[in-house]
Every structure is written in structure tokens, then in C-alpha cells.
Structure 1
Amino acid sequence: MTDAPLLDPIDDLLDVLDLTYEGPTTIEVASPTEATGDLGTYVGEVYTGRSQPQLYGRVFGGQVLAQCVMAAGRSVAAVDDGDGPRHIHSLHGYFLRPGDASKSIQFVVEGMRDGRSFSARRVHATQEGRILLSMITSFQEPAEGLDHQIPMPDVPRPEELRSDREILARIDHPYAQHTARSRAVDLRHVERLLLGPADPGPSEQSVWMRVERPLPDDHLLHAAILAYASDYTLLEPILRRHGIGWGDPRLRPASLDHSMWFHRPGRVDDWFLYSLSSPSAESGRGLGMGHMFGSDGTLLATVGQEGMVRLKG
């Protein structure tokens, strides 16, 4: 069991995303089967980052997503042909193994291509010779083109809702207390917070989110924290559809993959709405989909994740 972070939660998150550049390096990783003991190698620009302390010692998936975005973006920063910086517009990754929150993570960035308008990077997040997450990202320089978006749902404003932090702080349970103290992003559920059993309901929900402090004007940082926050509640519509709370002792959830498309720039230190749904669940897996809207209704990003949602016993 790991103690709560000593830093202020926002300072802690910013420190976790401030990766250390190690230079071009070769990393040895275990074979995919882990049975032969053979090692493979990856060559690329290597960055190192620490993990946020977690109550049960397992790395939060959103943290690794965000760190991969930072590493890939740092490697693209130098690519500028005079038409402006290239910003991330998509990522597609697979979670392969759980990580240990007490140990650092190395991010190996492979430069796949730098074209006239787009740059592609592959990132492997590794820990002690094992790949935790493998991701491909794409970046684009500013461009003109067709423009449309879906409307933001009509839901109560965040000022009308209670903070999840306030609700969790009143629950006498180690995980609720840890989450209330350590979460850097303020969440406010429009629907009832899904803690215990409930009647099966619609497979849709909305959550307001915000970092409660002004952050630097860094496009990459805001995109990384959007990716970080996207992993918080993405599987909840599956549980809500079946009346299952996060506290159900039978529940065995885990993220399997994660895709995200960044449509327009936005700030995470202003309120943004995460509108979520689940079109399907089967075979112990469930699919979560989400749209992130700025407080003015601008569509910032679209997210998709398939997760393992098994019930044991």
C-alpha cells in the first residue's frame, strides 16, 4: 500500500508530466511471451518519468497516456518548417501490462515519419524491461479546412453540482479518502456518483472536469491532461447500464486500449464536459465512448476505450 502524495495534487501531476530527457538510447525489453527469457531492443529518444502514488500500488492508466503524449510531443517540437508548430491530433494505444506506481517509467519514442504536414511517433512505455503501453501518435501543423461539430448536451452547469471530492471525503473508506485527497482534477457528476449497487439505467452520463488552478499556456500540456482525465470515467456507462457500482467486490475492471482524437485546442483549467456512452458490452469487455466539450460548447476531443469488465463470484 502506498501513501498519498506529499505534494499538492496539481503540483504532483505537473511534476509527473515533467519528463527527463535521457537522449537517444537502446532499451532492452522482454519477449512478448515472457516465457523464453529472450530480450528485444528498441532504439529511440528516451524520456523518464515517475509515477503518482496509488493506494494499491498500480499505476493509473491515464497517467501513462499523458506521459506518452508529453514524450511524443517533446520529440516533435523541433519539427517546424515555418508553417507553425505541430500539435497532436490523435493517439491509439494498447495497455499491455499493469505498472508499479513505486517505480519510474521509461518512454522510448520512435520517429516514424515527418512529412510536409504530419509527424508520426510510436511510444513504448517500459518498466524494468517490460512494455506497459504501446502507442502511436500523430501531429499536424495548423491548416484550414471544413469545420463542423456535434452540439454539447444540455446539462446542468458545474456550479450547480457537488464536487466528487466533497462526496468522497465524507465516506469512511480508504479508497474514497485517498481519491478525495489526491485527485488533481475536480470532477462533478451530472448523474448520481456510481459508488454502490443501483437500478440498471441508461448507458449514458456526463461529468464536468477542471484543474482548479491556472496552468501555463502550453498546448501540449493541456492536451496531455485531457488524455489523463479521459481515463477517469470512460467505463462508467457500462456499469451504470447494469446497475453495478465501483465498490462491487465482484468487479474486475481494466483498460485494454485507448484512442483519442483532438479536434480543437482547449484549456483544462477551465470547465470541460465529458459526455459518455457505451454502445456495447460482451465477452467480459465493454466499449466506452466520450466527447469532451469546452465550457462554451466547443468540441475539444473524442475518446474511445475498450475495457475488461469481469464479474467474479
Structure 2
Amino acid sequence: MKTHRLRRTLLASLLVAAVAVPLSGAATRAAVPAPAALAFTAADRPAERYAANRTALAEAARLAAAHGDRRRATNLRALAGGRLLAFDGRGRGRIAEVFGDLERARRIAVLVPGSDVRLDTYGGRFRRGAAALSARLGPDAAVVTWLGYDTPDTAGPEVLTPGRAEEAAPGLRAFVGLLRAFNADAPVAALCHSYGAVVCGRAARGLDVTDLVLYGSPGTGADTAAQLGTGARVWAGRASGDWVARLPHARVELFGTTLGLGPDPAEPAFGARRFAVGDGGHGDYLEPGGAGLRAIAALVEAA
């Protein structure tokens, strides 16, 4: 009982702290203009989408530069050589990028990001991790990034609730369905980092994947792996240096809101298949040469 009360107190404190983060110092800027996301038909193959999105990306970079947002323009231009399966430069942005040959791949890995990843930060550690995983897996695999939702801010209240994940779940299911339409034979593994594990947890029922790999997870919104309602193998790993271990892994109703994301999937009681990912930090799981990269790549290869 004492532990339960402590968790409730910690969660309440986290919510208050998140809501109370001063916003006065944040710069307010007008929305950066960008072309609307392109509409594709089921007949459009990946190569056609890559070409169309490359044109849309160039136009978005031009508009950003004209608007005076040199940072976004530079970030967009850095993606010019990518294979973009989806792109939307409006707002926080949406993007899905393919590393490898999607249609001929013998296995596919979909990376689902956590908090703070948006179009302006996409080209950083998240994208570099995807490239590192692709290099590790080799030409027989395709690695696909899916930034298909508004990720929460680490310093904001949404990161402590499943709301953003619930909104994202249908889009993730639909996206994996699209990948299966392009390549029906390759097994698909969903690799879900941080808050991305909450998204995968919410999407798990009906998500057409063979493996659900959760790492650095603050929870999934479920109490056990069985409650996810998936026939996929559920894996969970947490690096020894990951601060997420210190979170109060609980869930309470507070002020009419579900606060907290439930038990830690990396704990034995959750019932996932655990895997070792070394002693790195929260953002180190796909660092080149790291134990996390080797372990996650091995799971994809065994799918």
C-alpha cells in the first residue's frame, strides 16, 4: 500500500511539473509553409512514391527558406537523397524513409520513434540509428522509419499519458499494411523505442508483424504482454544506463486523466521475452558498434 501511494505521489508530481514548465521562454514562430502531403493510390509502387516525395521535399525546402526558416530548409535538403515513402512538411511534419530495397527484402524492420522526434530533429540520432541498423543487417533487409504521428515532448504532460499513442495506433497499422502490400513475403518486425513502445502497445492488436520489439520503454499501457492481444513475439530490453528504469511504472486515474503507462515491459512479470542490450543510455540503442544494435539486429534477422 505504501509503495502504491508513493507511485501515485510521484506520478502526480510529474504531471504538475510537466504542466508547469515555463513556456514564456519558448520562441513563438509562424507556421512554416509547406505543400500538402501527396495522395497516392494503391497502384503506386515505392519508386514512384520516392520520386514524387523527392519533388515535394525540394518544394518544402524552398518554401522554408523563403519563410526565413534556414534550419528547416537545411534539414530538409539533407534528406534529398533519401527514399521517402511518405512526406508531409506541414506542422511538426511526417516522414517515412526506406533504407534498402523494400520490394525485394527478405525481412523488414519498422522503427517507431519516441518523444521529441519531429521533422526538424528527424535527421539526427533517429535517422542515424536507422542507417546503422540497415548497414548491420545488410542488403537482404529493408529498414523503414515511421514518423507518422505527433510525438510528445519529453518535458510535456502528454509523454505521461497514452493519448498520443492511441491517436497514432491506426496510422501505424495502416502503414504496416502498406508495407505488406509491397512485399507480402518478408516478415516485419516493429522496433519500438521509448514512447514508441506505447504506440506499438496500442497498435498491437491487429498489427501485422511477426515481432514486437520494445526497448527503453516507459510502459505500453498494458499490464502484461498477453494483454497486448497480439500473436507476434513480444520482446523487451532495457540498457542498464537507461534513465527510463527510474520512472514510476504505474498507472492511475488523476483529474479525469489516465496518468502513467503501466508496468515496465523489461521486468519479468510483464511476460515479454527479454533480451540484453548492454549498458548504454536511453538514446544509445542503435549506436554503431553497440550491444543494443547487435541485439536488435539479431532479433530482426531471426524473424
TM norm. shorter chain > 0.5: no
Q: Which has the higher strand share?
A: 1
Return the TM-score normalized by structure 1. Answer: 0.26
Q: Which has the higher helix share?
A: 2
Return the TM-score normalized by structure 2. Answer: 0.27
